[in-house]
Amino acid sequence: MARRTEALSRERIVDAAVELLDTVGEGGLTFRALTERLATGAGAIYWHVANKGELLTAATDAVVGTALAAEPDGASPPDRVRAVALALFDAVDDHPWIAAQLSRGSGQVTTPRILESLGRQVRAMGVPRSEWFSVSTALVQYVVGAATQNAVNGTLPGPSTSREELLGAVAERWEELDPEEWPFTRAIAGQMRVHDDREQFLAGLDLVLTGIAALHPGT
């Protein structure tokens, strides 16, 4: 049994948890399901992970940690921000359950890890130390907020509903609004119908980065 417990590492348990979360969601992540997937006893799992909350935190941190490693060597700070931000966006899109974890602020390590990664680039851009907190937290709030909101928006109402159908339905509702009360919303309804989520995310990120550069022109 000791040899079996050693083989069952915390990393293997977390990887299995991520697979379960991807297939059956948070509600399906149980220690019983894990024991079946890993072909082991519950005691061996509890040896590495105390409870479901700790397991969710570890799974979230594992996926986010992989995304943060996307920072390219030799790139400029803004390009590093774009690479990390897009990797986070894609990670949350691929693992929608992360959205709930990040929205809850759960994860004793995950949120500071994101702040550390993006904050270092804010510092490298030459932002004064007195502005590090406000600039870096605003950047984190945009990246995490936009990524999680996209994951929430991507939750389709039924298995037969495609993204195109969902966007088309939203655009149609906008187009049917009163033209005097909702002129702007009606005007962009066509763009809602055909927009690309990743391009929209990067456009917003560029607005934030341009704002940082404008406020701190010496960067």
pTM for this entry: 0.84
CB 77 within 8 A of CB 121: yes
**Mean pLDDT over each residue of the chain, to the nearest integer:** 88
State the fold for domain 1-49: Arc Repressor Mutant, subunit A (1.10.10)
Domain ranges of the chain: 1-49, 63-215
In the chain, where does DSSP find H-type helix? Answer: 2-7, 10-24, 31-38, 42-46, 52-68, 77-94, 97-103, 110-124, 132-153, 163-175, 183-187, 189-194, 197-215
pLDDT at 153: 73
pLDDT at 1: 39
Cα 120 → chain centroid: 19
pLDDT at 4: 46
Distances in Å between the Cα of 143 and the Cα atoms of 74, 87, 133, 154, 215 are 22, 10, 15, 16, 19
Which residues contact residue 13 at a Cβ distance below 8 angstroms, ignoring those fewer than 6 apart? Answer: 34, 38, 45, 48, 49, 55
Q: Domain 63-215: what homologous superfamily?
A: Tetracycline Repressor, domain 2 (1.10.357.10)
Could you report the average pLDDT of every consecutive run of 10 residues in the chain (219 residues)? 58 93 91 89 85 91 93 90 96 92 74 94 95 96 93 62 84 95 96 92 96 82
DSSP type of residue 182: -
